Structure 1
Amino acid sequence: MDTRNISYFMAVYEQLHFTKAAESLGISQPTLSQQIRLLEAELGAPLFDRIGKKVAVTEAGRLLHHYAVKMLQAERDARSAIKELLSGQRGTVSLAVLPSDLDFQLVPLFVQFKQKFPDIGLKVISTIQVHEEVLAHKVDIGIGLQGSLDKRLVQEPLGSEPYHLFVHSDSELAGRKEISLAELEEQALVMYPKGYLGRDLIDEVCVNARVELTTVMETSSANSLLQLVSAGVGATIQPRGLLRQHPERYRITRIPITEPAPVRRLELVYHADRFIGSSQRQLTDWLIHFLKDNIVG
């Protein structure tokens, strides 16, 4: 199979519309339709059902998509490996990280990395679907919460980080050395919505400890949560190191939570079958060193 035709197939698979897919590829719609028909003839099975103006993926199409992702990534890996071998050029590394870590913890590392390796490009995306982005070959490397073992991935544990209670600096709690999980029932909290990784992790610990939290406001942004705490709207429960960078921006005090405290465990992941060039290896080593020394422990 020609990888060009596979690329055409992927465009139709993603758009479910031949005209839109053709526009995205920069070719005419009749040309695209012809190439898809040739691919279907080669495989001996229809890849799409065309019902009027609607396009639906067949079972054969879904099966081809599973392998097509790997085929196209293998071609990119081969090109990258040979280009690096022949020219010694360093390319661009793509990285997926959790939103709060990107906004509050990892930027200093990126500055250091760019100063040390100015020829390496770095593309960072913010997402809570870190493992999914890596598995879909949308990024080279990911940093997220530790997941179950997956043979498709290389998973490098980075350590753990406890959650603390963040309160306004003028709060009567600000002078406390620690606070129990049970005492959090009495606090008005601003939190991530249910379904967000950090919130689900905290809720699981509270359910096991038979503690019921009271939330007065929910938002999906860590920055918004910190602003709400700084404004005195409520307290929040966040990873210990969230305000390590620029703590002067907020009038907030951190209070350790006694056992059983919520703890997040981070890991660095990349696809086991993917070519890892010198740029990716260099960034991977830096990330592991930086995170273990500065964020988790």
Structure 2
Amino acid sequence: MDFRALKTFEACVRLGHFLKAAEELQYAPSTVTLQIQRLEDDLGVSLFVRDGKRMIVTEAGRWLHHEASALLKSIGAMRQTISDIASGDSGSVRFAAIEPVASQQLAAVIADFCKARPNVELSMEVSGSRSIGERVRSGELEFGVCSVPPVKLMLEFEPLFEERLGVMLNRNHPLAQQDSITVRDLAGQTILVKEPTCVYRELWETAFNPTGHSCREVGSFYVIQQMVKAEFGIGIVPIYSGLEQEGSLVIRPIADLNPVITIGIAYKEKNFLGKAALLLMEAIRTSVPPVLLQIPGEGSGSSHCI
């Protein structure tokens, strides 16, 4: 059954005249007549009967018109959806990001993207870098914002910025009065760190080799934040002003070490990604600001842009 013939038939019934259908479809009248004849031959029934100068729709024609109208409407919706997916105005995106990058850097970007493209089904998960890399490789996620994935995963990686570890302190803590913290200052302190699979925990252990320090493992930066606020220990966290709380918490850089980690976008191949995912990746690239880090020893008025 020819799609064009169905479209012509629907127009003939809806407009009540072959000539009007020809004008709407921009066909020659003879083309309309030929398409209707071929459709009738294909179906083996008459769809119209002539009554003088009028063409009356048969019972079979009325049933076909009802079905054809629904079919043409469905095909039109399919065409529009495919067009929207191709332009990035529809479709789905599933990605993940590590914390606190997700809340501190990406939340506003995602909100703006969803407002601009409300028909895109977007799912953002918060997870660890290892899990993100493995799930991007398996195809569960389109991309991830994380640290550099292992070479064995064979993923593309675009660096966005570098983060440096700092020390989160209650403002009442004696060390909070210092512009920066040294490794020696940490002796005897109760140190709150993330779980072993967290890249920030790995960076802490690699850079400091914290033998002899009293470490408490906490699975959430928010919980670390609340525990420091309750004056129980100090936290090892990436330096984000958003993690500080005015009047209660501060984050100080570490003066004698420079523990940094590169954060970027990990994905398999751009050919595997839909337009909406590519647009979101570009929004993240252009909207995520570089991190302003205080350089130890340069005074409170100096900062460095990474």
- TM-score between both structures, scaled by the size of structure 2: 0.62
**What is the one-letter code of the residue matched to 1:263?**
V
Q: Does 1:267 align with 2:269?
A: no
Mark the CA change 1:195 to 1:96 in structure 2 (over 3 Å): closer, same or farther: closer
Deviation at 1:252, TM superposition (A): 0.8
Q: Does 1:155 align with 2:152?
A: no
Checking the alignment, whether the CA contact within 8 Å between 1:227 and 1:250 is kept in structure 2 is no
Is there any run of 5+ residues in structure 2 with no aligned partner, and where? Answer: 1-80, 293-304
Mark the CA change 1:102 to 1:180 in structure 2 (over 3 Å): closer, same or farther: same
Q: Does 1:174 align with 2:138?
A: no
Deviation at 1:199, TM superposition (A): 1.0
Select the residue among 280, 284, 288 that pairs with 1:291. Answer: 288
SS in 1 for 2:263: strand
Deviation at 1:183, TM superposition (A): 2.3
Q: Residue in 1 aligned with 2:236?
A: 237
**What is the one-letter code of the residue matched to 1:240?**
I
| % same residue | 18
Aligned length: 212
Q: Does 1:108 align with 2:108?
A: yes
**What is the one-letter code of the residue matched to 2:126?**
S
Range that drifts further, 93-102 or 270-279: 270-279
Q: Aligned partners of 1:261 and 1:182: how far apart in 2?
A: 15
Q: Aligned partners of 2:197 and 2:154: how far apart in 1?
A: 25
**What is the one-letter code of the residue matched to 2:180?**
E
- TM-score between both structures, scaled by the size of structure 1: 0.63
Checking the alignment, whether the CA contact within 8 Å between 2:86 and 2:275 is kept in structure 1 is no
Q: Residue in 2 aligned with 1:52?
A: none
Is there any run of 5+ residues in structure 1 with no aligned partner, and where? Answer: 1-81
Q: Residue in 1 aligned with 2:121?
A: 121
Specify the structure having the higher radius of gyration (Cα). Answer: 2
Pairing 1:29-44 to 2, within 5 Å after superposition: none
Deviation at 1:216, TM superposition (A): 4.7
Mark the CA change 1:180 to 1:134 in structure 2 (over 3 Å): closer, same or farther: same
Deviation at 1:244, TM superposition (A): 1.8
Q: Residue in 2 aligned with 1:12?
A: none
Deviation at 1:294, TM superposition (A): 5.3
Q: Does 1:280 align with 2:258?
A: no
Checking the alignment, whether the CA contact within 8 Å between 1:93 and 1:123 is kept in structure 2 is yes
Mark the CA change 1:202 to 1:151 in structure 2 (over 3 Å): closer, same or farther: closer
Superposed CA offset, 1:63-115 (max 9, x none): xxxxxxxxxxxxxxxxxxx9358875521111111133334442122112222
Pairing 1:9-24 to 2, within 5 Å after superposition: none
